Every structure is written in C-alpha cells, then in structure tokens.
Structure 1
Amino acid sequence: MDISTQNTHVPPPTPQRSGGTRKRGAGATRRGDQIFLGLSRGSGILLLVIMAAIAVFLTYRASLAISKDEGNFLTTFEWNTGLQPPVFGVAVLAFGTVVSSIIAMAIAVPIAVAIALFITHYAPRKLGGAIAYVVDLLAAVPSIVYGLWGALILVPHMNGLYGWLNDYLGWTGIFSWDEGAPRAMLTVGILLAIMILPIITNVSREVFRQVPQMHEEAALALGATRWEVIRMSVLPFGRSGVISASMLGLGRALGETMAVATVLSPSFDIQASLLNPGGGTFAQNIASKFNEATEFGRDALIASGLVLFVITLLVNGAARMIIARRKEYSGANA
C-alpha cells in the first residue's frame, strides 16, 4: 500500500443543521421574542397615536378660537379674548419665549459642559462623585421651589448686576435699565439657566464617560496635554450627545411655567431692553389666565399652546438634523 495514501487526512464533513441557517433579521420564532416584539412595536405605534391625538385636539380647539379672532393671530400685540369681537395674538409670547430660552441656553450650556468635563476628566473620583450627586439633587427640585427662590432671593439681588450692565452697556439699548423692579427677561433667563443646568450636565457627563479610552491614551502617547486630549478626542466624540442634552434643556426652558410666572412681571408689549419688565411666555400666559378664562378664552390659550407645540417640534427636528449631519465626527464609528 502506498505510504502517501495512508498518511492522507480527510477532515470530517461539517454537520448540517436541520432546517437550514436562520438569517439575521428574520422574524422572532420563540414565544417570548414574539411577545417582546409585539410590545415594542405597539409602544412605538402608541406613541405616534398619542402625538397625533394631541396635534388633532390642539388644532381643532385652536381653529375654533382663531376663526373668531379679529386680529392677526401671529402678529397682534394684544390679548383680549373677552372683547366682542375678541382680539388676541401670540407675537409677544413667541418673542418672550424665544428670548428667555436663548438667554438660558447661552448661560447654561457652557457651564454645564465645563462641569461635566471637570467631573469626568479633572476632579478626583470622590470629589467628582460628590459634585455629581449635588447636580442630581438639583434636577429633582420642583419648578415652584425654583420660582419661590427666584422671587424671594434672586430678584432682590439683581439690582447690582442690572446697575452695572446699565452703566457700561446701557448705550446698546439691550441693557438699558429704568431702575424698576428687576422682574424682566434677563432674570427669567438666569433662573431658567439654573433649572436646565442639571439636565445638560448629567447627559453630557454620561456621554463624556463613553469616550473610548484608547482615543485618550493615543493622544497622550503623542504628547498631547490634557486640554488637547479633551479638544481633539472628548469633545468631538461627545458633540452629538451635548447637542441632545442641550435640546432636552431647551425643551424644559420653552415649556417652563410656574417659575417664570412667579418671577416675571408680564405685559403684552415687547421691550427692547432685557432689563425692563414686560413681555411674557406661552406657558406663563396659559398658567396665569386659564382658571379665569371663559370657554372661548381657553380655546384661545389652547391655540397659543399649539404654537408652542409646533416650535418644540421644529426645535427637536433641527437638533436631529444637526446630529445626523455631524454623526461622522462624533467618534461613535471609530
């Protein structure tokens, strides 16, 4: 017999699974998987149904009020639903809501990102844990408590800041002050910044903690300083997360009610200065007028709520577009 034939090794045939290979993405076959799939799909559909129901309700009630409005609903600087015929509009409310939210975001986002970076990359573990715990507690404080603190503590101590801004920046007109009570848009913006600070900080902190350790170690190995590591590795990776956190904070700022109603001295006029009382927001106007409003007046308030609903959807849609465009720079695919 040939030796080469004796030493030839033939591998055993690979056993074939009965039923064939199951393709990835195929439907669930187990009962538990089917139940979980049904619950997940049903939850998503239920969310869409709820959103559609809210939109239909707001649109229907708003149409009843807007059809009887003698003014332009989007540009009228007045809110008199008790007149015959009624005249009301949301120009002042839209302006106040947007301005106060912009002030809050301009103050809160840089501070929140700085706190998150300090907790995750600079502070010792025990100190970072203590600061994170305090930030978590701030997120649990009710809105009315913030409002009471703002009215009793923040407002009386704003005179010095208002006076300084008037002395050095009053020539701009935006920071001119007639020495009235500091229940103005700037005070509201500062209070809203304090309220949304914990949300943005917590989400940004968790995003920064997800940065791959290899990215930071590679930058350090190339001689980068700690700030260069943060600038080149941490911030690009967490950019989309910070944007998402900012949108969550902006959502609360846009819809905040009791705190704004407690601090702001509202009026239906637009002030060029951020330091003089006046203006209003959608949520504040609804909260202050809903109980005493007639049936038609409530429809008008619901119409203003529809505008706030649309603004919120537009803001969230814009945030999703920004995140989608910058996804390749986030570091998630590295």
Structure 2
Amino acid sequence: MKTHKIIGLMSGTSLDGLDLAYCIIQEKEGAFNFEIAETMSISYSKEMKEKLKNSIYLKADELLVFHNAYGTWLGEQTLQFIQDKQLEVDAIASHGHTTHHQPENGLTFQIGSGQHLANAAGVKTVCDFRTNDIALNGQGAPLVPIGDRLFFGDYDFCLNLGGISNVSFEKKGKRIAYDIGLANMILNHITQKEGLEYDKGGMLARGGVVNANMLQQLNDLEFYGLPYPKSIGFEWFVDKVVPIVDQTNDSMANLLCTSIHHVCEQVAIQIKQNSVSTDQTLFVTGGGALNDYLLEVLQEKLGSTTKVVVPEKKLIEFKEALVFALMGALRLENDINVLSSVTGAKRDSSSGVVFLPN
C-alpha cells in the first residue's frame, strides 16, 4: 500500500480565505482512501481580499510581483501549520488562487508561485495543475472530479457549491463534469456591498421574496445554454452578473432570495437532464452546503427522485483541499489526475509542476 502525507491548499473564487488540509492518502491496487488528519482555515485580511479580488486588473509585471509574494505568503502559512501541528509531510499540493481563466484564449493563471512557496515552507510543492490541460486544448477545469471518482464514486452526482457551482457524474463509463454557474460568488457580492461578510445559513435570504425580473435576467445568461465541457471564472462574473445585480433596485433579502432560487434552478436543470434513476443521490460540499435555506430550496426544486446528501462539516469545508492533496499524490506517482472527459482536452494527463525547495 502506498501512503502519501500531503498538505492540500485551496483558495477559491468566493475569497473566503485559505484552506489547509493535512491528508493521509493511501492507495492499494487502484482503490483509494483518505484521512483528513488536521485542518486550518485562514481568513483573508481586508487588504489581502481586495488585492486578490482586483488582481485581474493589475499590469503584467505587477501581477507577477504579487504572484511571487502570494507564493511566499502561502509557504509561510503552511510552515506555521506544519510546526504548530508537528506534522510529518511528504509534499504540499497547492491550487493557488485563480486570477485569470480564459480557456477560449488558451489562458489560465493561478497566482502563488510554486518555487516561492516551496522555499518558504521548505517542502516539495506541486502546483499549477491547470496549465497543462489548457495546453492540450482543454478547459483546465473542473479539476475536482478525479477526487469525486476515486473517493466519492458511490454517489450518483457530486455537487460543489463554492464561489461557482460545478457538478460531476459518471456517464457511459466516463466522468463528466463542468461548471453549472453561480453559487456563493453572487451571494457574497450582495452581502458585502452592505458591509456583511456573508449570509449565515441563508437567514436573510429566507426572509426575502423572489424578484422575477432579476431571476429572468440571470436565467437568460448565455453560459447556461452552452454545451459542456465549459467553465467560468471571476471575469465572467464581473462582466455578466455584477451589472444585473447592481442595477436591480431591491432589498438585500430579496436579492439574496432571488439569487438562491436562481442557483438552485440551474443546478436542478442539470441534475434532471442527466438523471440515472428515480432514486438517486446528490453529494453536496463547498461553502454553499452550510447554507440551510439554499439546501431546502435545492431539495424542493429537485423533487423526490433526488436526495441531497450533506456530509460532516470538515468534509464540506475541506473537500477541495483534500482533492488537491490527491492530485499532488497522483502527480508525484505520474498517474492521471486530470480527465479529458471532463475538460475536453486531447487526452488525460498527469498535470502539475513539481518545485523543490532551495
């Protein structure tokens, strides 16, 4: 049995902060199991959050300076985590933070320089998991489906509700996955305009009513009608979604309620289109799985044929960090970790760049 002790790092589009998960991943004859042994979440300071949010507007040289500085910061946080928890670590696997994602232009960029990270932490580091797939004419996303297949294959569908919603499932022996559309990104945008970090449990949204005009505008977004493979990033949100939200004159509760109904409607459409039975399971993780009102609306729109399954809180919060730890382990073994059936690339690949500390 092969055993990898890896720290997975994840920073998502919702800008909640940095998730660190120390994972023990074991593989025996093609079967994988995991233990999330230690975790830590680091909330971004207001300054860091603004820098990450606005990094898409930086000039190239300014972006690269930030790329290096952020890599060093990631390494320092990881080293502190290792020392505080007295961890024995084989490697770090870092997603970085996506600043640019334009697969149609052959471009994706996740800041957090792997060499700076490795040097600061003093540990072998695997990162830049998306570029190789883009070079193979893929979307470079989503990446989590390899974990869905190897760790959570007993569920019919795996749904992640981070800043963006994405889904994965098996179809005719292949793993299919793609970005559905919005999730926490729109909810956090609405609350943060009013100085509130987020709507805990969806309590504010629960007190609102649906704005039919805003709902229609969101549902009419072109992206929803595109075939998969497909993916979106923060640029799409700023360009297509923010104007709809900001031009809608309504209460915060109504904006939140409308957004949740929109998110759930789009998820339900995709699940129903790809249904496998009248007794199927939808495994939900990501920050959205902590939004009680969203889960209620989602179950209502799915109906009785699909059961929403929510795991323990640790897995909800650290699933993506866990999967990047898995991707790092697979890369170190030169095993496939990015699926062309998901991304549309020419072929499956073992993606990620390995950096040794100096």
Normalising by structure 1, we get a TM-score of 0.22
Greater percentage in helix? 1
Structure of greater Rg: 1
